[in-house]
């Protein structure tokens, strides 16, 4: 299972981390993800979604 949100298509991004002496190095920023189980056809399927999309799902379904 990949680390990409299925609803909002969020994924890990890379930023520049800048030191006091202006040296730039790459920094990895991960999104806030959760693994949930949903009922898909005849079985539960485990998916990775962001917390923003989880909030969206709860608002729509309940």
Asked whether residue 17 is assigned to any structural domain, the reply reads: yes
Could you give the CA distance from residue 19 to residue 7 in angstroms, rounded to a whole number?
A: 35
**How many other CB atoms are found less than 10 A from the CB of residue 55?**
11
pTM attached to this predicted model = 0.67
Asked whether residue 2 is assigned to any structural domain, the reply reads: no
Q: Given this model, what pLDDT does residue 27 score?
A: 95
| Residue 1 scores a pLDDT above 60 | no
Q: Which domain holds residue 57?
A: 13-61
Asked whether residue 28 is assigned to any structural domain, the reply reads: yes
Q: Given this model, what pLDDT does residue 13 score?
A: 93
| Each residue's pLDDT tens digit, 15-54 | 999 999 999 999 999 999 999 998 888 999 998 999 999 8
Residue 53 and residue 9 in contact, taking contact as beta carbons nearer than 8 Å? no
């Amino acid at each position: 299972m990949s680390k990409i949100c299925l609803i909002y298509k969020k994924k890990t991004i890379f930023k520049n981390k800048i030191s006091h002496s202006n040296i730039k190095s790459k920094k990895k920023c991960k999104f806030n993800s959760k693994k949930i189980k949903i009922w898909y056809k005849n079985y539960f399927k485990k998916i990775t979604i962001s917390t923003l999309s989880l909030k969206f799902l709860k608002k729509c379904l309940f």
